[in-house]
Structure 1
Amino acid sequence: MLAADTAKSDDPDEPVVKLEEEVVTGESQGQASDGYRYKSNDVGVFKDVPLSETPLSTQVISGELIENSGAHNPTDALKKLATVAPLMSSGGYSSMHRVMIRGFNASDQNDLRNGLVDRSFTLPPMEDIDRIEVLNGVSGFLYGFSAIGGAVNYVTKSPSNTFLGALSTGVYGGGLFYGHADLGGPIIKDKLTYRFNVYAEDGETYIDGAEQDRQLVSGSLAYQMNDRIRLNLDFYHQELDNTGLQTYFNIADIGYQVPDADFFDATKQYGESWTFNEASKTVVDFGIHADIAENLAFRGAFRIGEMDRKYSFVGAVLTDASGNYTKTMVSSAGNDESTTAAYALMDANLNTAGIEHQLTFGYTHIGFEFERGTNYVDSLGSSSINSISCYDSTGQAVGYDRRMKSQTHNLILGDRIVFSPAFSLMAGINYSQLDVKYYGLYDTDPNKDSHVTQDAFIPMIGVVYKPIPTVSVYASYMQAVENGGIASAGAANAYEAMDPYVSDQYEAGVKATVWGRLDLGATVFRIEKTNQYLDSSDNVYKQDGLQVHQGFEFTATGRLTDSLTVISGWTPMSAEVKEANDAATEGQTPVNVAEDQARLYLEYRLPTFLGQAHQLTVVAGANYYGKRPVTIPNTYYLPSVTTYDAGLRYQYKDKVTVNLNVANLTDESYWSYYRDGSDGITGGDGLLLGDPRTISFSVKYMF
């Protein structure tokens, strides 16, 4: 993304942050030396807003933290945030990234990359990421028809006007060895600059007989035509090939009881070594930033993307709680998708009678078209967790039988009004139009329209009051509109598309900076959303009643002392279904929604022991997941669990960094989540074991 020149801060202890320098160097915010803090950031269509003056709950994970913690997938990268819960596994058959925020799906195939929606069938690469911006909760005004839970924006590393180079190598995930080169600098000084990342990994995962192969090529060019116009070209291509996939444990045949995870071993191959997942993706972006006048600028971008995916996995259908199961093979014919995204926005900074306006207006677009085929499903035979039986593949799905085409158009008008250093207001309206067409098996219900169109005005308003420069109090209201879900292949009403729906969010909070180095946040929220679920009593996917989620978020990021860094959070929440026609769902907590969750990440820099050139840092972390229901009514739950992490980091000057990280230090056995969707197995895919103890080790050399 292209940034304006400066961002203001009312904190006298905080320096003015020049975001133009951040775009060029990528080093002005989010550094370990400053506790991985960010003072300002983009908030949707609004550019360069001080985070203390944003009437929304936002968090930023820096690229340096991603690297230092040994994260190579989004789940590990977002692990530090207590507001985010994973819904997919990097080792699963889908190779997709889904998370829950505030108990709702967030960025469900609608992650953002540099502010443009980036639907994906493959995990977003972490190796070219400068930071991850997370908006907690409803984002309708900012992005139109979108996921209710929140928005996750992956901001890539930017071209540099000075030469930089880094070579990294290491191992993670059980035995995945990798190499990574990150290069940047001027091609023509002050005129044409670049950033280039190339990455490759190959080896074994922590599951017996499982292997993974991934390659990434990513690049960015920035061309300064003159003092007013800058052009950007960004691209990436990623190939992912997994074999010996992780196995879900379906619990429909045992009445949705949740067996004790201690009886299972996450390193065992409960499925088959021949299972696979192949995914590839190519994305190209074009961008322009033009300073039309002193206080008027235009920014535009256009993205095209192509991706495909094919997989074959084995699900374990438990026949009793002791670990006996039948193996069910599921083979995908493939998923192909083309995507487009664009924005054309004008930014105007105005001053009327001493009141400052940061005005943004324009157009944004999201489009995609995909085709896929019916899965091939076959029962292979019986097995047991204590005596695993192996079977050959019996077939492969072929051909496409359904297609979906979606277009979203947004006309946006937003204004951030600064009345005084103590009082500001953020408000806007998004006129959003959704046009969706269903073909093939998606269009088999005569009672459902195969061409769905809907438009809506989506408002947002928020106020911020700063009683003192380092404390902000805010309140906001935002609506959201989301396209209805589609019943999965295993549902009785397979492929039926639900109607779009409107949700409401009310939020209030306090943000404070303590000692000039520690950022604190406390937020209360309430979201009301149409309830969608797969009814276990009749296996029908339906809309019924409202989901009402309300809770509290506490976050802390920064340095407690000059040597001790903390990133922590706690999110207790009450979630229930209300106004449901089915009495069995009334007052129940939706599937997979935790009653609370918490994170704690600490870094302690030891006193210098070999001179100023050497630095040693000790790392520790704890991750708590509250209990989560797997059924409605709430008869059975995933039990709560706490895992612990530890690590060491050694740095020599600014040249060499060595990281050693251990995740799940005590090798806790636990269920990471329950997937109630279905790729052909009646009753859903089932339970997935959490990662066992894993070690990551890396060496980085800067030159």
Structure 2
Amino acid sequence: MSERTELILEGDYLYHKFTPDFGIGSIGDSNLAPAGRNQFFGTPWQYAKSQQTTGTATIKHQLNDNWTINGTLSYQNYNRDYFSTERIQWSGAEDKYGDWKRPLGRTYTEEDYYLAQAFVNGKFKTGNLDHTLLAGIDADQITTIGKAFQIAGGTSYDVINLFNPSKYTRRTDMPNTWDTAKTKAPVVRFGAYVQDLIQLGEKWNLLAGIRWSYQDAKGIDTMRYNMINKNDTAFTGVSRTDKAFSPRVGLVYKPIPTTAIFASYSNSFTINSGSDLDGNPVKPSIVDQFELGIKNDLLNNKLSINVTAYRIINHNLAQMAPYLKNGDPNNNSLIKDLTGETTSDGVEVDIAAHPVQGMNIIAGYSYNNMRYTKTDSAGSNFVEGQRLVNSPAHTANASLFYTFSAKSLKGLRLGATAVYIGDRVAGWNNTFANRKAGIDRRIPIKGYTTLDLTAGYSWKNFSLLAKVTNLFNELNYIVHENYSVNPIAPRQFLATLAYRF
């Protein structure tokens, strides 16, 4: 027996199409209440509490007209406490169409992040060549703490029916939970880099640089709590050390003063927080990026048009693991899979215009084709050639702002911003096993456009800003790399009155 579920967005309604294949036919579409406007899938007590604290100190010292030294120290703490129902799951009963279980998820994560960096930049000459040098070092440490929980009565909360909400009495009580394990994952990173921008005459500039990175992911400390006999156990996982040189090079050609053609290549060594399914530190991601573009300043700098084509290859994309090692759904974003190589090919167009005094126009368009290009053909791995979920092919934006200079309207500023997000896919990418079984875990989502209007006025020490977002009350959805589908914010009116002393 196989099954397929589709989430179809149409107008103000959320449709579920559930097709169990029993060899005796199937059921069709059923209309639920407007999406995002009730708590059909959730509970009145669920919560997701997040808190972030940040502190930064910087220092800058001018050695002379050509050289400066800069330094930064910063600290950030982030924690998230989460307890809620998760994405619904088929109940497994062949004779109960539309019956789905509501599972529960409980997580707690905390991160402490320390950063220190120092760099020097300056200008000098060698012969006829002008150099702009940047060199520095940086170090950071991130410690991630996670907790695992046991939920009284298990993770299955209750059963609901998608087609007949009144069939079952939905639970509303909040189950008790208690800690079963605590993990601590410290990662230390150090880097040193040097970069030189060399002016090769009037029309050519060369950028060359290299970075050396060192990452030490300590073995994850785990404490497991036994609530029955109080026999707690502690162990430390395997440590991992990675080192890499990351080069970058770019070339700029200016055939005329208002036009620049550029090409660049860069390689980056990206750390990944969290652990894999075995509790070991996640390997870093190595990313290659190629760019080719042209920049034009026209009409005496009143119009700027930039076009860039790029290719980005991530040789080890890390994503939240959909399932734990025992097969249970994973609700912890710090447990990750290295899903294989991905390639993004795209084009970006940026336009900025100042046609008249006080008017600013900014517009942009982006095309991106992000798909899996190398994966192991094992059943649990993703299918090569498939576009990644939550990666629209087309996006665009445009904004227009005008500041009045006439004496009678001085201080008044009006603006409008439009944003377009194209068709994309929610859910999970399909694995080879899914494809073999004829199961499609992806959820197609249509594109949408929103329009925001703003008006501001300043007079002496007073300023008033009014804004309406999503003017036409567009109903669409924000999707993530799982079955999370949340409605975008509806039409909102905001006003801010400020006084400057």
* TM-score between the two structures when normalised by the length of structure 2: 0.76
- Look up the SS of the partner of 1:312 in the other structure: strand
Which residue, 343, 346, 351 being the options, matches 1:551? 346
| Counterparts in 2 of 1:605 and 1:550: CA distance versus 1, 3 Å | same
Higher relative contact order (CA 8 A, sep 6+): 1
Deviation at 1:542, TM superposition (A): 4.5
Cα distance in structure 2, aligned partners of 1:302 and 1:622: 36
| Counterparts in 2 of 1:328 and 1:659: CA distance versus 1, 3 Å | farther
* Conservation of the 8 A alpha-carbon contact between 2:119 and 2:134: yes
Q: Partner of 1:527 in structure 2? A: 312
Q: Partner of 1:565 in structure 2? A: 360
Cα distance in structure 1, aligned partners of 2:193 and 2:99: 55
Q: Partner of 1:675 in structure 2? A: 481
For the pair 1:330 / 2:105, whether they are aligned, the reply is yes
Q: Deviations over 1:543-577 (max 9, x none)?
A: 45421111101112343443543222111122222
| Matching residue's letter, 2:365 | W
- Look up the SS of the partner of 1:260 in the other structure: strand
- Look up the SS of the partner of 1:467 in the other structure: strand
| Counterparts in 2 of 1:408 and 1:383: CA distance versus 1, 3 Å | same
For the pair 1:309 / 2:309, whether they are aligned, the reply is no
Cα distance in structure 2, aligned partners of 1:295 and 1:618: 41
For the pair 1:508 / 2:301, whether they are aligned, the reply is no
For the pair 1:427 / 2:208, whether they are aligned, the reply is yes
- Look up the SS of the partner of 2:86 in the other structure: strand
Q: Deviations over 1:142-165 (max 9, x none)?
A: xxxxxxxxxxxxxxxxxxxxxxxx
Q: Deviations over 1:355-402 (max 9, x none)?
A: 221112221112111211014452222346766945111023436521
Deviation at 1:309, TM superposition (A): 3.0
| Counterparts in 2 of 1:277 and 1:501: CA distance versus 1, 3 Å | closer
- Look up the SS of the partner of 1:611 in the other structure: helix
For the pair 1:359 / 2:136, whether they are aligned, the reply is no
Deviation at 1:471, TM superposition (A): 2.0
Cα distance in structure 2, aligned partners of 1:502 and 1:666: 43
Moved more, 454-463 or 497-506: 497-506
Cα distance in structure 2, aligned partners of 1:468 and 1:617: 36
Cα distance in structure 2, aligned partners of 1:544 and 1:381: 33
Deviation at 1:579, TM superposition (A): 3.3
Deviation at 1:510, TM superposition (A): 1.3
Cα distance in structure 2, aligned partners of 1:528 and 1:341: 27
Which residue, 267, 270, 280 being the options, matches 2:51? 280
Which residue, 431, 444, 453 being the options, matches 1:647? 453
**Higher CA-based Rg:** 2
Which residue, 427, 430, 434 being the options, matches 1:630? 427
Cα distance in structure 2, aligned partners of 1:292 and 1:616: 42
| Matching residue's letter, 2:123 | N
Deviation at 1:606, TM superposition (A): 6.9
Alignment of 1:101-116 (within 5 A): none
| Matching residue's letter, 1:345 | F
- Look up the SS of the partner of 1:450 in the other structure: coil
Cα distance in structure 2, aligned partners of 1:607 and 1:288: 38
* Conservation of the 8 A alpha-carbon contact between 1:502 and 1:529: yes
| Counterparts in 2 of 1:355 and 1:323: CA distance versus 1, 3 Å | farther
Deviation at 1:590, TM superposition (A): 1.9
Cα distance in structure 2, aligned partners of 1:616 and 1:640: 34
| Counterparts in 2 of 1:345 and 1:531: CA distance versus 1, 3 Å | closer
Question: Deviating runs (4+, > 6 A) in structure 1?
Answer: 535-541
- Look up the SS of the partner of 1:287 in the other structure: strand
Q: Partner of 1:380 in structure 2? A: 157
* Conservation of the 8 A alpha-carbon contact between 1:478 and 1:506: yes
| Counterparts in 2 of 1:318 and 1:671: CA distance versus 1, 3 Å | farther
User: Over the residues paired in the alignment, what is the CA RMSD in angstroms?
Assistant: 3.4
Cα distance in structure 2, aligned partners of 1:324 and 1:669: 27
Q: Partner of 2:8 in structure 1? A: 259
Q: Deviations over 1:429-469 (max 9, x none)?
A: 101001001324599xxxx9711101111001111122222
Cα distance in structure 2, aligned partners of 1:364 and 1:696: 41
Cα distance in structure 2, aligned partners of 1:486 and 1:614: 50
* Conservation of the 8 A alpha-carbon contact between 1:544 and 1:582: no
* Conservation of the 8 A alpha-carbon contact between 1:303 and 1:342: yes
Cα distance in structure 1, aligned partners of 2:282 and 2:223: 11
Alignment of 1:52-451 (within 5 A): 255=4, 257-260=6-9, 262-263=13-14, 264-270=34-40, 271-317=42-88, 319=90, 325-332=100-107, 334-376=108-150, 378-383=155-160, 389-398=170-179, 400-440=181-221, 450-451=238-239
Cα distance in structure 1, aligned partners of 2:220 and 2:265: 37
| Matching residue's letter, 2:493 | I
Cα distance in structure 1, aligned partners of 2:413 and 2:114: 46
Q: How many residues align?
A: 432
Cα distance in structure 2, aligned partners of 1:639 and 1:340: 39
* TM-score between the two structures when normalised by the length of structure 1: 0.55
* Conservation of the 8 A alpha-carbon contact between 2:181 and 2:223: no
| Matching residue's letter, 2:313 | E
Deviation at 1:524, TM superposition (A): 0.3
- Look up the SS of the partner of 1:373 in the other structure: strand
| Counterparts in 2 of 1:399 and 1:356: CA distance versus 1, 3 Å | farther
| Matching residue's letter, 2:212 | Y
| Counterparts in 2 of 1:520 and 1:298: CA distance versus 1, 3 Å | same
For the pair 1:594 / 2:392, whether they are aligned, the reply is yes
Decide which structure has greater strand share.
2
Deviation at 1:324, TM superposition (A): 6.8
Cα distance in structure 2, aligned partners of 1:285 and 1:296: 23
| Matching residue's letter, 1:260 | L
